[in-house]
Amino acid sequence: MDSYSNDNTARRYRAHVSTWGTTQLHLRNPYVMAWWSAAFPGFGHLLLSKYIRGFMLFAWEVIVNMNAHVNTAMIYSFQGEIQQAKEVLDTRWLLIYIPVYLFAIWDTYRTTVDMNKVYILADMEDHRINTFSMGAFEVNYLDKRSPFMAALWSFLMPGLGQLYIHRIFTAFFIVVWGVTFFYFSQALEAISLLFLGETSKATSVIKPDWLLMLPSLYGFAIFDAYINTVENNKLYKKEQRRYLLKTYQSPSFIIKKGTKMS
């Protein structure tokens, strides 16, 4: 049940409000988007609201990276142990890692440039959009929320910031992978040990290749929650201005000159 049904009269729409979340085009920096795809293939596409290929690339990265031991090799390389890095890499998997990794970065960059152009056209067309959607399972509507709170919740647990701003798919995705990474990295056990002051025991309990997944997931969860709150707020403002101009500018209204009452 929507407040407005798209009648397909627009050539392009700026945004789509559904019970699953608010999807919108907005200006993005292609380099920043490409960077997120470099941090973790899939993140760039998720930020562009291209969820299916984002999920695919992400799952692909986890499977191939883990089997080729790319993360382990990265750890050795950062430590300067180049010989060990060479030995740990599994050549049965390694070579297919490279093209897909580069594709994710390249495709994010070019898609961002393209979608920025589409946004400029959609923004100038300024067609009416649906702003309220209610269904049996969810309610979604445009409104203003705090970018700081969105970032804070995703900082406390990745995915909560996305729930706060009604990005159901991304929230589900981040929570599932977050739990997976926490479990397999044994990071939470290590943190408990750190609280007890047993630092060396904490280090030994960690599974390094899984631990290396967590910084990217945290960074992405905070970034995604923050920028999307900002963009949702901008969309809200634009839509309200549009509504006010259309509804409350009667030609018969006359501004009268008088005296200000104290």
Partner 1 sequence: MKRVQLFSTFENHSYLEIAISNLEKQGIPREKIYAVPLDKRAETKKLFDTLHSSDGISLIDIGLPLATAFSVITASIGFELAWGPIYWGLIGAGAGFVLGVIIRLIIFWQTEKGQKRVRRKQADLILIVECEASISEKVEKILWEHFAMGLAKVESGT
Helices (H), ranges, 69-165: 70-79, 82-88, 91-125, 147-156, 160-164
Calculate ∠ Cα 75-76-82, nearest 5°: 145
CA nearest neighbour of 2 among 122, 129, 127, 126:
129
Residues of span 9-28 touching partner 1 by CB under 8 A: 26-27
The two three-digit tokens of residue 137, written as one number:
């399972």
Instruction: Please identify, using beta-carbon distances, which residue of 99 and 258 lies nearer to partner 1.
Output: 258
Instruction: Please identify, using beta-carbon distances, which residue of 9 and 166 lies nearer to partner 1.
Output: 166
> Phi-psi region for residue 187, left (φ > 0), alpha (ψ -120 to 50) or beta?
alpha
Q: How far is the CB of 33 from partner 1 (least distance, A)?
A: 10
Instruction: Please identify, using beta-carbon distances, which residue of 92 and 258 lies nearer to partner 1.
Output: 258
CA neighbours within 13 Å on the CB side: how many for 91? 2
Give the DSSP letter string of 28-49. Answer: --HHHHHHHHHHSTTHHHHHTT
146 counts as binding partner 1 under rule CB under 8 A: yes
Number of residues that bind partner 1 (CB under 8 A): 65
Q: How far is the CB of 195 from partner 1 (least distance, A)?
A: 11
Per this entry, what is the length of the chain? 262
* Radius of gyration for the alpha carbons in the chain, expressed in angstroms and rounded: 23
> Phi-psi region for residue 255, left (φ > 0), alpha (ψ -120 to 50) or beta?
beta
192 counts as binding partner 1 under rule CB under 8 A: no
236 counts as binding partner 1 under rule CB under 8 A: yes
Instruction: Please identify, using beta-carbon distances, which residue of 28 and 53 lies nearer to partner 1.
Output: 28
Instruction: Please identify, using beta-carbon distances, which residue of 34 and 64 lies nearer to partner 1.
Output: 34
Instruction: Please identify, using beta-carbon distances, which residue of 8 and 130 lies nearer to partner 1.
Output: 130
* Gap between the Cα atoms of 142 and 227, Å rounded: 15
Binding partner 1 (rule: CB under 8 A), the pick from 145, 165, 167, 178 is 145
261 counts as binding partner 1 under rule CB under 8 A: yes
Binding partner 1 (rule: CB under 8 A), the pick from 147, 159, 161, 178 is 147
Sign of CA dihedral 215, 218, 223, 228: positive
66 counts as binding partner 1 under rule CB under 8 A: no
Residues of span 105-144 touching partner 1 by CB under 8 A: 143-144
Binding partner 1 (rule: CB under 8 A), the pick from 9, 52, 156, 256 is 256
- What is the maximum alpha-carbon separation in the chain? 86
Phi, psi of 20 (to 5 degrees): -85, -15
**Which stretches of the chain bind partner 1, using CB under 8 A?**
26-27, 29, 32, 35-36, 39, 74-75, 77-79, 143-148, 151, 187, 190-191, 194, 199-200, 202-203, 206, 208, 211-212, 214-216, 218-220, 222-223, 226-227, 229-231, 233-234, 236-237, 240-241, 244-245, 247-250, 252-253, 255-261
